[in-house]
């Protein structure tokens, strides 16, 4: 489906999936109604949008996995503190017992 030269995340298919996902979610946002009011879209259309979004997400997941990446890509700040802290072995010691603390 995609060229051999491009990665799955740069393929036309992936770009189309992203565009369709954006359009469908924009439609949902634009037609959102207040609680208690009748939605302008029919139940069949709403269910169709849900199914399309599920299929798009499933295919995106396949493309990302084929590219050797994971779905847990999260943005981060360069100055954000690291979650892992390295503790030198020399600083690791045994805790003192209650009788030794006094």
- pLDDT, residue 96, reads 66
**Other beta carbons within 10 Å of 72:** 5
Which two three-digit tokens encode residue 102? 């006094």
Are 9 and 69 contacting, i.e. CB atoms less than 8 angstroms apart?
yes
6-20 pLDDT, tens digit per residue, is 676 788 998 999 999
34-93 pLDDT, tens digit per residue, is 888 998 999 999 999 999 999 999 999 998 888 887 777 667 777 877 777 777 888 777
Residue with tokens 């599920």: 54
Separation of CA 45 from chain center: 25
């Amino acid at each position: 489906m995609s060229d051999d030269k491009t990665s799955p995340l740069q393929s036309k298919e992936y770009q189309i999936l992203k565009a369709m996902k954006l359009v469908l979610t924009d439609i949902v946002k634009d037609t959102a109604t207040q609680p208690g009011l009748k939605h302008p879209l029919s139940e069949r259309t709403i269910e169709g949008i849900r199914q399309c979004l599920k299929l798009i997400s499933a295919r995106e997941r396949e493309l990302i996995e084929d590219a050797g990446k994971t779905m847990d890509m999260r943005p981060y700040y360069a100055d954000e503190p690291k979650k892992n802290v390295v503790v030198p072995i020399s600083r690791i010691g045994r805790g003192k017992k209650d009788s030794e603390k006094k």
